[in-house]
Structure 1
């Protein structure tokens, strides 16, 4: 924990040099997100190079073997991306990676993540069965569910559930029904948990004017509803911000 704190103190003053890039820092993880327009990768590559130089100047070392690059491109035809280099070493390009507990892939599909959390959640069903065999009541079983299975299923749910496939949602809901059968208590559907989390997160953003996303929640002229984003892309409509605005306007 002390190493993580020291790292955060050392790197807190580094910010992106280009407007098209974003630096995400959490504990000892640093992520560079670059928006490439018209196949112009100059700003993105300069950002990575400047970050590596900055680390050297601060006597910090980048573990290139653990550094990965993932390219998200929804175009049907896209040119091959030349790998980036750090300290003369090639950074591995991957189709998916685990970022702060969430499995993200370059197609922005969430099957791998849902399979992972379902596997972890099912491991909690055995101790739940054991507690039931020891004649624990529904309230105790529900508390155990909230501390284990629920926390696993709802981790970062606002980021991934909106664009889950129908088959993935069925698997998640089937797990919820099994858990409800074991506990003997009424449990909310996974969709209701997602809606509640979106509303709660959106309300926090609306109340916090210092939040970078605060400007995305703007009231209409009559001051009762928020402006919603219109798009032909189902992927965009199902993301957190459009969904959260829709839930707030209900």
Structure 2
């Protein structure tokens, strides 16, 4: 274990120049041997989005109510895991003592340093948090937070990795359960040394009633949570009108960037087979991500714009590519 050093490179969280220091994140270049426990088959991020949208839309279709969604943001979530707390949680779950001991060895006594250009910091030994850049750290964080669960007929906690949302299906203005659940979650985070970033926590209200009542804002540590009309949740732009226009606009902008990279690869005389592999693995997987939700609900002009991008990509890779209609 002693030879597995963690090298961290500060990287901007947004693709903009002249970023303030607080916008940089420590990107860990972990050793290959540490990248263990790959993804679970047939379970992915789209399942989490499906569950949330199904509950919200089912409620809106069956009653004249509203849906309130508070998306909570953790501050340095993976760096705040306490190994001793995790050990107790794993033991209570009945995890093998040998596996628990191995995980403790994996998390504690980790030598690491920060590299910025030619400058390298002194090496320090860390025993807090989980090494990022591996799949295992996501699994461990999921187990660390799995104790807090809530799922009633009208209110539930939606968790996927470090993304947490509290969803409330409201009838006749009854919001006591929703607000109590949020406060209970805040208290649980405090006792488990997880810090909420109130400046990035947002709330979205889906309400088609007329007149539309103004909801009372949620308060966290004395700060009112900001209401938003759109929010990017797990890679999908959700809208308070359940309209996919914002999501399709974002896809269109990113699609133009992907076409640029395809053209650049073509200019290097990359063979057509490799161009097609790049399209299928990088471009198409992102272009049609979560199409099961928005594919049948978008406007005709958005569908035409997407198919136009696919046709342009097809002319670059030299073959006919699947359109949105054929994907669905």
Please name the residue that 1:118 is paired with. 252
Unmatched 5+ stretches in structure 1: 196-250
In the alignment, the residues of structure 1 paired with residue 193 and residue 321 of structure 2 have an alpha-carbon distance, to the nearest angstrom, of 52
The offset of 1:106, in angstroms, is 0.5
Matching of residues 197-212 of structure 1 within 5 Å? none
Please name the residue that 1:156 is paired with. 290
SS of the residue corresponding to residue 162 of structure 1 reads coil
Tell me, yes or no, if structure 1 residue 34 matches structure 2 residue 172: no
CA-based RMSD of the aligned residues comes to 1.9
Higher fraction of strand: 2
CA contact (8 A) 1:20 1:35 kept: yes
Please name the residue that 1:56 is paired with. 190
Tell me, yes or no, if structure 1 residue 12 matches structure 2 residue 153: no
Seen in structure 2, the aligned counterparts of structure 1 residues 19 and 57 have a Cα distance that, compared at 3 Å, is farther
Unmatched 5+ stretches in structure 2: 1-77, 79-129, 132-136
SS of the residue corresponding to residue 194 of structure 2 reads coil
Higher fraction of helix: 1
Seen in structure 2, the aligned counterparts of structure 1 residues 38 and 132 have a Cα distance that, compared at 3 Å, is same
- Selected match of 1:170 from 304, 307, 310: 304
CA contact (8 A) 1:120 1:152 kept: no
Seen in structure 2, the aligned counterparts of structure 1 residues 63 and 135 have a Cα distance that, compared at 3 Å, is closer
Please name the residue that 1:233 is paired with. none
How many residue pairs get aligned? The number is 194
The offset of 1:23, in angstroms, is 1.1
Please, which moves more after superposition, 121-130 or 25-34? Answer: 121-130
SS of the residue corresponding to residue 180 of structure 2 reads helix
Please name the residue that 2:69 is paired with. none
Please name the residue that 1:138 is paired with. 272
Please name the residue that 2:220 is paired with. 86
SS of the residue corresponding to residue 166 of structure 2 reads strand
CA contact (8 A) 2:295 2:324 kept: no
Residues 192-218 of structure 1: per-residue CA shift (max 9 Å, x gap): 11x2xxxxxxxxxxxxxxxxxxxxxxx
Residues 62-107 of structure 1: per-residue CA shift (max 9 Å, x gap): 2111111100112232211110111221111111111111111101
Query: Per chain length, whose mean CA-contact separation is higher, i.e. which structure has more relative contact order (CA < 8 Å, sep 6+)?
Result: 2
Tell me, yes or no, if structure 1 residue 98 matches structure 2 residue 228: no
Please name the residue that 1:73 is paired with. 207
In the alignment, the residues of structure 2 paired with residue 38 and residue 69 of structure 1 have an alpha-carbon distance, to the nearest angstrom, of 19
The offset of 1:180, in angstroms, is 1.4
SS of the residue corresponding to residue 123 of structure 1 reads helix
CA contact (8 A) 1:21 1:32 kept: yes
Tell me, yes or no, if structure 1 residue 185 matches structure 2 residue 305: no
SS of the residue corresponding to residue 124 of structure 1 reads helix
In the alignment, the residues of structure 1 paired with residue 163 and residue 317 of structure 2 have an alpha-carbon distance, to the nearest angstrom, of 38
Seen in structure 2, the aligned counterparts of structure 1 residues 133 and 67 have a Cα distance that, compared at 3 Å, is closer
SS of the residue corresponding to residue 33 of structure 1 reads strand
